[in-house]
């Protein structure tokens, strides 16, 4: 088995969970609801968040030297998505998931890494 | 919240779990061990499996009409990867994960879908 | 330089070109236009096509044993997307790109591969 | 047709070209050559560069607010990969492609964007 710090595994889990929430919601709930849910700014925030979360997990899994830099951008995309979801009552779970992931990504981005 | 059948969620979970195992192992354990672990046939089977698993989850999350067809290919890639891992004693967990995922993907591929 | 058959390179080019067209159009033109362009069936066909095209290119680039099977599914996703675009006058370029890519993917899927 | 600035299209082209070079070379030439080509540091630099390039293109295509931040990280991954390729005589084309892409990504990252 390959070694992975507990902190990194927690961040990967948060990223893949947030990716599933944002991408899954965007492509089913938001598309089917229409209206505010498919406004470019909202929908794009959902998709950008989903994509960076998915990619952050990928970079951590490969132990890429740029993983922390990507986690930093990921935290920003998650916060932006949470803010977009706040005004829509049926997107509260999504906003919460985004904030949980942003928190994990900030921890990861701020960490000293083994060389 | 968007609706997702229990079967589909189980398959998404299995795919993302197998993706993490195969991609994470390939890019850390296999690369660091070297030898048989980086032989093109073995390493490529790991990467192909990881990639199709990741993409199958993506297709299911978006409810794509081609999701079942991708799951069918995914089951084949998982079985191929499991067979590649069998002769290497330190890859037993990976082989088991691949077979679990193959099983879920076959179920998904064979299922009647709601229109 | 690594070797790549001319046929495979043509298919990779077509896939990455179709991915750019479908994903780029969906996330800019379709979202901004709204109406029929963000109806779930249309938008999902665009995203599914974009994603399989991107993944087909990935599988070919890594010389994965499942590359041809994915190309076969890709051809179907491209045809489905083209049909979704046909009724919308401003999506003619997208439909044409999808049909070009479907054609390349069918060629690739039907080819005898070197072991 | 959706609008895309000439600068952004040039950067997307460079990213997808560099992705193809790095991922294609890693998964064929490097794996088959073995030795220094599959040393963890070299191989990981290739894969990380390929992945960020692919994702940068994705973020630009969707006009994500974080596209420039990702391009900045991408430029660093490209430079790191180029440095890894420099000592290997058969990787000169790859190093050149990485530097071309790094240059485009720096331009994109430094640009004023339309709101």
User: With an 8 Å Cβ cutoff, is D50 touching chain A?
Assistant: no
Residue B115 has pLDDT above 50, yes or no: no
User: With an 8 Å Cβ cutoff, is D34 touching chain B?
Assistant: yes
- Any domain includes C1: no
- Any domain includes D114: no
Model's pTM, two decimal places? Answer: 0.95
User: Could you tell me which chain C residue has the CA closest to the CA of D22?
Assistant: C61
Can you tell me the mean pLDDT for B60-87?
Answer: 98
**Chain B residues closer than 8 Å to A57 by CB:** 20
ipTM, two decimals, is 0.93
Would you state the pLDDT for residue C4? Answer: 75
Between helix A6-25 and helix B6-25 the angle, nearest 10°, is 140
User: With an 8 Å Cβ cutoff, is D15 touching chain A?
Assistant: no
Distance CA A96, CA A86 (A): 9
Residue of A58, A70, A80 with shortest CB distance to D65? A80
Can you tell me the mean pLDDT for D73-87?
Answer: 98
Q: Are B42 and B25 in contact (CB under 8 A)?
A: no
Can you tell me the mean pLDDT for A56-82?
Answer: 98
What CATH number should be reported for the domain holding residue D65? Answer: 1.20.1270.360
Cα separations (Å) of A1 from A61, B21, B29, B95, D71?
A: 13, 9, 7, 12, 33
- Any domain includes D1: no
Give chain A's domain count. Answer: 1
**Chain D residues closer than 8 Å to C61 by CB:** 20, 23-24, 27
HSE-up of A1 (CA within 13 Å, CB side)? Answer: 6
User: With an 8 Å Cβ cutoff, is A23 touching chain D?
Assistant: no
**Chain C residues closer than 8 Å to B45 by CB:** 65
First to last CA, chain B: 20
Would you state the pLDDT for residue A81? Answer: 98
List helix spans (H) across chain A. 6-25, 31-33, 40-61, 67-85, 92-109
* Cβ neighbourhood burial of C13 (10 Å; 0-12, 13-18, 19+): middle
Would you state the pLDDT for residue D71? Answer: 98
Domain span at residue C56?
A: 6-109
- Any domain includes D47: yes
User: With an 8 Å Cβ cutoff, is C69 touching chain A?
Assistant: no
* Cβ neighbourhood burial of D17 (10 Å; 0-12, 13-18, 19+): middle
Is C58's CB within 8 Å of B70's CB?
Answer: no
User: With an 8 Å Cβ cutoff, is A61 touching chain B?
Assistant: yes
- Best of C30, C35, C41, C43 to disrupt the A interface by mutation (most A CBs within 10 Å)? C43
- Any domain includes A114: no
Would you state the pLDDT for residue B111? Answer: 76
Mean pLDDT of chain C: 94
- Any domain includes B114: no
């Amino acid at each position: 088995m390959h070694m992975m710090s507990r902190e990194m595994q927690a961040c990967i889990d948060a990223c893949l969970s947030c990716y599933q929430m944002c991408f899954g919601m965007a492509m089913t709930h938001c598309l089917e609801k229409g209206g505010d849910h498919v406004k470019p700014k909202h929908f794009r925030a959902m998709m950008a968040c989903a994509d960076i979360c998915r990619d952050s997990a990928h970079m951590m899994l490969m132990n890429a030297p740029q993983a922390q830099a990507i986690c930093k951008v990921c935290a920003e995309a998650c916060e932006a998505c949470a803010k977009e979801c706040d005004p829509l009552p049926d997107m509260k779970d999504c906003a919460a998931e985004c904030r949980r992931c942003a928190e994990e990504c900030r921890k990861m981005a701020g960490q000293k890494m083994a060389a």
